Every structure is written in structure tokens, then in C-alpha cells.
Structure 1
Amino acid sequence: MNRQKLNKFLKKYNSIPRKKLSQNFMINDSYAQKIVGLVPSAGIDSIVEIGPGFGSLTEHLVELNKNLTLVEKDPQICKFLMDRYQLQAKIINADFTKLNSDIFKSLKKYLIIGNVPYNVSKRIIRFMIDHHREINQAIITLQQEVAHRLTALPGTKDYGGLTVLLQNIADVKKKFDIPPAVFYPQPKVNSSVVVIDFFTKPRFVDPQKLIPLITICFKHRRKTLRNNLKCSFENSKLKSIEKYLDLRAEQLSLKDFKILAEKLF
């Protein structure tokens, strides 16, 4: 994909990049090939691409001979996908974050890939957290700021609730950055490609316990755990975690959250 081809497709399908859908189309084939090159050669039977747009990644994904599903919200772009990839992929015209996960159950373990719309990137991460047992891996392009949050370490400014939730169920690695000029229209921020390998079991804490705990602990980021937890738990419970109460949530490791979950629930 390049700018000339993109302009041709935009004109043919009477489409324009829609800010409401956070559409920034990749127009550099070298980066597209580099992203698709991260797909494992073995262990993956099915691939779900989020927001394929005019096929910058798709044209390389079809060459992998995997069971391919394309999820695209824009109906005009879906016409392009139907014309070009109907025989090579299943095409779903829908918002990925609003799909019933049952639609993917027949795929069992699968890989998610995509240059995801930045305005829904956090919602997509939450979808994957909620359905991590069915997903084998994700390779996604995000705004660099979100990538830093997903890979952050305790005690850093980027470390937050989303970090803890994801790192409890997956190994998260940033692979490389992408400058704005690789997209049209150019986003105002740099992007990063992140690979997420989901575990078959949580690393430390049952997500059903961790989610409400994280919500409370990070509710007021600058407050101590004592102030954040006192309205939700009895004093007897808080005394069992006395050594943590004067810390802020961002200072706690995954192992610390495991201890809190065991003591409080």
C-alpha cells in the first residue's frame, strides 16, 4: 500500500478518512510487511484482523494461508474488502469492541492483529483481557503512549490499572516504533507495535478478584491505599495489609497485588 493506491481506493469507494472512526491508513509497505512478519510460522491456525481498512496488512496476511477474519466498522470500506478478499477471508461489518465473543469461539486459540483505531485502543485491550482464554496472541499497533502503559514497570508514571490487569495474564513486549509519516492522514503522535502473548492461566491473581481491586486501588492515583481502600473494606481486613497502606497503587508489583487479593477477598 502507498499513497497513490490509497487515493485510488478512496475515490473508487467514495470514501474519505473519517476522524470520528480514528482512521489513519498505513501507506508504507515496508512497515506492513514488518508487522505481518511478527506472526508466528507455527501454532496459529486463525487470524482476526481489527480495522483492516484498505488492506495494508491484509494483502500480506492472505499469503500466510491461515483462516482469516476481517472486522471492519466502516461500511464503505467493507465494500472494498468484499470485492477484494471475499474468497480469502470472512468479512464482518461491525465494531470489534461490541461483538459477541461467541463469534470467535469456533476459532479456539487465535491471533489478533491490527493497526487499531486509536480512539478505541483501550477498549480493545479490555476486550482482550476479558476474553484472554480464547486468544493465543495479539500483534497490535497503538499510540506510543498506550504502548508505554502496557509495558510499564511498578513505580513509573505509566504504570496503572491497565498495566496490572494485562501483565497478570500476558507477556507484553514493545517491538518497534512507527513515525506519523507512515500513515495518511498523519496522526499527531508516534505509534508502537506491541506483541501480547496470553498465558493459559493468570500469572498471580484470578482476574475476577483483580479487576475490582485494581478499580479501587487506582481510583485516586495520588492517594495512598489507606485512603482508597478504607471505604470498601473493614478495619480488620485493612490491618492484615498494614505494611502496604501508606503506599500508592503505582508502587505495588503484581506479587503485591496477589497478597492484597488474598487478604481482602
Structure 2
Amino acid sequence: MKHTPRKRFGQHFLTDTAVLDAIVRAIDPQPGQALVEIGPGLGALTDPLLARCERLTVIELDRDLAARLRRRTQLQVIEADVLTVDFHELSRQQGQRLRVVGNLPYNISSPIAFHLLAQVEAIVDQHFMLQKEVVERMAAAPGDKDYGRLSVMLQWRYEIENLFEVPPEAFEPPPRVDSAVVRMTPRPEPADVDVALLGELVAVAFSQRRKLLRHTLGRWLEARGFGGHFDVQRRAEEVPVAQYVALAQAVASPSTRPEKTAPEGAVRVR
């Protein structure tokens, strides 16, 4: 059956066998592992994965493609928007944590990343094909031009590896951007932090990238009566992930609340 790619689903089907082989080698699937593929499409990645792991769960929104995939007895097909899928429940059904892979729709790649971040305890690792620009932002280090909110919010919880780039001609139809494959491995002992608070803090910090943090994050901290120390004479892209996490922890700590007296020697926001 011929399938016409649907723009509303952001469908660009990977057809380059060399790229597919490289992705499968990077994933290195093993029999007995619980693999979940997001957006299997026409099955270009599904088939070589099945050859290695024997069974596979796929999440496909396109009902025509989902119907085609159901013909394969080795597949558990979930016909749904991935943003509605409960990966914790899927992990419980599988009896183990999940390995999540896929050629993600580029128009919703960041929402998918944050959806999985909220359920990361159910995941062993993630291997995704994404827009190259997005992968560069995910993996960027402090001081890089691509370092931003996405970098901080993912790196506090994952080790991010930009594995290799993929040109547009590897797809049908070709996208208008370059692509890249990324590996995301959850950190075994992540910092204990209020994720919502960290997200708010980082969003404020990067809201005006060209200004010193005293104009943005400094005012936000002062409004909260923060009594600790944080150097706001920097720009947002100069602050390492660990310092953002430590600041979020400090903001949440009773010792830095306005009704408490700052300990001797404490330095307030400057």
C-alpha cells in the first residue's frame, strides 16, 4: 500500500539504509528488553529493531499506519498521540523500564521531550532523530550560543550525547532542515529538586538573554525574599546547570525564606 506523507503529522520517512543501520547499532537492542518506538511510520526502523529484539511496542497517531502495523504479530500497537501516553503504566505492563526510540515529528519534539522528562523514572534510555538545531540546544554547554532553557531542563536529569548528523536526502519527503540522532540517558542519582520551580527559574533567567541576570532572575529572587547568595552579574548562558539546580534547591529551602534570618556570613543576591 502506498502512503502519502501527511503534513499535519510532520511525516518525513527515513529511507537511507546506512543511517538506519547506524541508528540500530547505537541503540543496540537486545532480546527481552522493553522497546517502545514513537512514530514508526512505514516501519523502516521497526523492522531492523524487531530483528534484534523480537517484540516491540509502537505508538502511532496516524490511523492508516496503525492499521497496517497491527498486521504484524510481534508488535503491540498503541494508536494515540504520544503526549497522552502514560509511560509509567506502560512500564508496569512490561514489567521493566523502557527503552524509547523514534524519528520524532519535529514540530512537537520539545513537548515530547518534556512529556518523557515527567516520566523519566520509567525509562532506561532514549534514542531520537530530531532536528539538528534542537539536538545542539539539548547538548549545548554553558557559554555556547545554543545553551538555553532546553539545555538546562534536560541536562539536570539526562546525560545528552549528540551521536551523528543526518542530511535531508535520507528522508522521503526530505525535510527543509538537517537532522541529528541523540542519546538521552537518565542520570542514576539526579539532584532532588522541585522541577516546576526549576522550570520557572530557568524560564525567567533566559527571558532576556542579552541582559545581565540582575535585570531578570535577580528581580525574581528579590521578589521571593531570597536570602542566599547567587551572582547575578552574569548572563543566563554563563551559568552551569548545576548552579541553576542548586539555586532552585536554595530558593525552596526554609533557610532562605524572608521570615528567616540569614546565617552569619551569608551573601545576598548581588
* Residue among 115, 118, 129 paired with 1:127: 115
Amino acid at match of 2:74: Q
* Residue among 51, 66, 79 paired with 2:39: 51
Alignment of 1:36 onto 2:6: no
Q: Contact 2:218–2:232 at 8 Å: present in 1 too?
A: no
Distance in 1, matches of 2:208 and 2:34, equals 40
| Alignment match, 1:99 | 85
**Structure 2: gaps of 5 or more residues:** 253-270
Distance in 1, matches of 2:124 and 2:88, equals 16
Q: Contact 1:48–1:112 at 8 Å: present in 2 too?
A: yes
Distance in 1, matches of 2:236 and 2:139, equals 16
2:41 aligns to what SS in structure 1?
coil
Distance in 2, matches of 1:195 and 1:76, equals 29
- Residues 106-131 of structure 1: per-residue CA shift (max 9 Å, x gap): 23311110111111111111112111
- Residues 61-98 of structure 1: per-residue CA shift (max 9 Å, x gap): 11123541100111111121112x2x101001111112
The alignment of Structure 1 onto Structure 2 pairs a total of residues equal to 250
Amino acid at match of 2:244: F
| Alignment match, 1:256 | 243
Q: CA deviation at 1:176?
A: 0.9
| Alignment match, 1:78 | 66
Say which is worse superposed, 101-110 or 134-143, in terms of deviation. 101-110
Q: Contact 2:54–2:74 at 8 Å: present in 1 too?
A: no
Task: Give aligned-pair identity as a percent.
Answer: 31
- Superposed, 1:140-155 pairs within 5 Å as 140-155=128-143
Scaled by the length of structure 2, what TM-score is found?
0.85
Q: CA deviation at 1:182?
A: 0.6
Distance in 2, matches of 1:240 and 1:43, equals 51
Give the 4+ runs in structure 1 shifted more than 6 A: none
Say which is worse superposed, 141-150 or 67-76, in terms of deviation. 67-76
Amino acid at match of 1:96: V
Please tell me the root mean square deviation across aligned C-alpha atoms, in Å. 2.1
Say which is worse superposed, 173-182 or 61-70, in terms of deviation. 61-70
Q: CA deviation at 1:165?
A: 1.2
1:133 aligns to what SS in structure 2?
helix
Amino acid at match of 1:122: S
| Alignment match, 1:245 | 232
Alignment of 1:181 onto 2:169: yes
2:47 aligns to what SS in structure 1?
helix
Distance in 1, matches of 2:127 and 2:217, equals 36
1:54 aligns to what SS in structure 2?
coil
| Alignment match, 1:136 | 124
Q: CA deviation at 1:100?
A: 2.9
Distance in 2, matches of 1:227 and 1:58, equals 49
Distance in 2, matches of 1:174 and 1:251, equals 21
Amino acid at match of 2:205: C
Scaled by the length of structure 1, what TM-score is found?
0.86
Distance in 2, matches of 1:137 and 1:208, equals 23
- Superposed, 1:149-228 pairs within 5 Å as 149-203=137-191, 205-228=193-216
Distance in 1, matches of 2:234 and 2:122, equals 35
Distance in 1, matches of 2:166 and 2:176, equals 12
Distance in 1, matches of 2:205 and 2:32, equals 37
